[in-house]
Structure 1
């Protein structure tokens, strides 16, 4: 992984010493900055084996730089290490690419390809803000995510079977062509030795509650089907045009969208969840 190491001095220069004007968001473990940075053009190479670092081609591009909170402690450190270990083994168009990292002077920094169109959650109604997605775009995004999750769950040469553990619309990024990529692997776990599906036991319930598999919440047993459940919640977000934790849903059920979708399915009223914009688009198309 030596070729992915980026001197912290270059990152600080690109962000003007992590100036707030470069910040584009933050999460539970760090702040994300947008900047232009020289990184290795790994995608132009079929293999880096046998090459020395100085021979690899460089490219200046817009990147996303995640600066891990120092207060994150051991969990933040483990997430940093996990992202590097897992993303360096992944090569798939629907998995976000890790372009570099820095570990100097007590700083932990990750550099990713920049998602120009933001996260999928940006396109759902939340606090009165919404950007419309066409039906075709919604279907394409869902297929992209399905391909990405299937790739993670498949054990293959050079890549372990990976369980993401935090599939949600905020962790699905969209590039300039609206291609969806699964991101944020800080909570992920891998199973490199076993080909068949297995159950992971944990003492720490980790993830985002409204997307969590109910079985995991009660038994602390996590498996790849738990990722599929979380993806199912995202599918209902796409259908309804609202995030799973929208206050509209939380007023009805503290677990958000998932139990509401189940109840309406049982009642035969699932169509009430459909985003009115989808209906409007279909009517316009038919006319």
Structure 2
């Protein structure tokens, strides 16, 4: 959606107000801008924008320095990419302006600023928790997984500049990937590699293999994201002067020497998680182990050894489940005891299975069912029921679960028939 230069100049008072940051790309301003409501836009060039409903809201306005090399190319590339890639974890493009010599991009405003900014002030954020940091990581991972996946005519995208400064947070601390000026589309062919003569990215976050031989693949983003994960773990930015060899190498060394807890942000170490019966200091150990293991894999030297973002998403979901279950596991156990006073083990198992089947969310019940499993054993249930729960807890495939369940139902029917 093209936005008139006059409207932008009015909102920023000719770029004299609302300036928040400058960089090699240009400057960013915050302003309240009236623009056409995109919900009413029609896919036609003849539509008169002046007659369409408008709305006024706060936006981020990036005024690109057109003296920079490849500024114009990056400007139109970002418009094309953000127009085709719409996802809840990618910053939405409100519009653009290319009147005269101006190259201006207008984005939805992320009111909590960049992750880079938050990392440097997290000590003052009373709502900062390990679970919240996991959610931020998970949001970025989902956005990257979307970019790395082809769908219809949309090609895979390599961002090329994943770093905490390019991860924006809205008012609810939902992560949004931003700044696609260096991004590029990849071929739809499998395992496509693009060789670039112009190396682009940020030192400290850049894939070493890409920096060495120009070999650009999706795995380059995976490496950069691994650096961001360790930024979130440590509560510091990658370019902090205390890292003599860089955050990535420091993190790998600590992980290999089993000293990763030394890098953990002191605020997270001191975090208190309260349950009904006790208070627990620090993050859940299983959650931390899953997080650090997948972050370490992302930093593998060879691109072929790094996990896909889909795998990273799955692991972060598991890490989050272990952390959030920490507070509720005891109350869940008590609830099960109460429910068992009203129904036998088999009836409750059937009810829970049907509920999970209907919602199709096996994995979200997995952690809590560890406690259910232990309780079922204490009620002396038969071997076949125990076999099902074992398969369930160890995350066998859905098909196998269905086969086991069908078998159990048959066995139960046989027993009841006798």
TM-score by length of 1: 0.89
Cα contact 1:36–1:61 (8 A) shared by 2: yes
Residue 225 (str. 1) matches residue 219 (str. 2): yes
Deviation at 1:52, TM superposition (A): 2.6
Find the counterpart in structure 2 of residue 201 from structure 1: 195
Residue 281 (str. 1) matches residue 281 (str. 2): no
Deviation at 1:134, TM superposition (A): 1.3
SS in 1 for 2:6: helix
SS in 2 for 1:148: helix
Residue 75 (str. 1) matches residue 70 (str. 2): yes
Q: Deviations over 1:49-97 (max 9, x none)?
A: 369343643211100000011321x421111111111111111110001
Structure 1 pair 34–95 and aligned structure 2 pair: CA distance change class (3 A):
same
Deviation at 1:243, TM superposition (A): 0.4
Cα contact 2:94–2:107 (8 A) shared by 1: yes
SS in 2 for 1:49: coil
SS in 2 for 1:173: strand
Which among 57, 60, 76 is matched to residue 56 of structure 2? 60
Residue 8 (str. 1) matches residue 5 (str. 2): yes
Cα contact 2:227–2:238 (8 A) shared by 1: yes
Which among 69, 77, 94 is matched to residue 99 of structure 1? 94
Cα contact 1:123–1:131 (8 A) shared by 2: no
Tell me, in whole angstroms, the C-alpha distance in 1 between the residues paired with 2:124 and 2:190.
41
Deviation at 1:130, TM superposition (A): 4.5
SS in 2 for 1:94: coil
Q: Deviations over 1:217-241 (max 9, x none)?
A: 1111010001011001100000000
* RMSD (Å), alpha carbons: 1.9
Deviation at 1:131, TM superposition (A): 3.9
**Where does 1:13-24 land on structure 2 (aligned, <5 Å)?**
13-19=10-16, 21-24=17-20
TM-score by length of 2: 0.62
**Where does 1:244-259 land on structure 2 (aligned, <5 Å)?**
244-249=238-243, 252-253=244-245, 256-259=246-249
Cα contact 2:251–2:260 (8 A) shared by 1: yes
Q: Which has the larger radius of gyration?
A: 2
Tell me, in whole angstroms, the C-alpha distance in 2 between the residues paired with 1:167 and 1:56.
36
Bigger fraction of residues in helix:
2
Bigger fraction of residues in strand:
1
Which among 262, 271, 274 is matched to residue 272 of structure 1? 262
Tell me, in whole angstroms, the C-alpha distance in 2 between the residues paired with 1:272 and 1:283.
20
Cα contact 1:79–1:187 (8 A) shared by 2: yes
Structure 2 gaps of 5+ residues are 282-418
Structure 1 pair 158–14 and aligned structure 2 pair: CA distance change class (3 A):
farther
SS in 2 for 1:100: strand
Tell me, in whole angstroms, the C-alpha distance in 2 between the residues paired with 1:59 and 1:159.
30
Residue 37 (str. 1) matches residue 33 (str. 2): yes
SS in 2 for 1:217: helix
Tell me, in whole angstroms, the C-alpha distance in 2 between the residues paired with 1:48 and 1:176.
30
**Where does 1:86-235 land on structure 2 (aligned, <5 Å)?**
86-125=81-120, 130-132=123-125, 133-191=128-186, 193-235=187-229
SS in 2 for 1:6: coil
Tell me, in whole angstroms, the C-alpha distance in 1 between the residues paired with 2:83 and 2:155.
11
Question: Size of the alignment, in residue pairs?
Answer: 273
Structure 1 gaps of 5+ residues are none
Structure 1 pair 178–115 and aligned structure 2 pair: CA distance change class (3 A):
same
Tell me, in whole angstroms, the C-alpha distance in 1 between the residues paired with 2:178 and 2:250.
27
Tell me, in whole angstroms, the C-alpha distance in 1 between the residues paired with 2:194 and 2:167.
24
Tell me, in whole angstroms, the C-alpha distance in 2 between the residues paired with 1:141 and 1:27.
24
Q: Deviations over 1:102-129 (max 9, x none)?
A: 1112111110001100000112238xx8
SS in 2 for 1:61: strand
Find the counterpart in structure 2 of residue 261 from structure 1: 251
Deviation at 1:195, TM superposition (A): 4.4
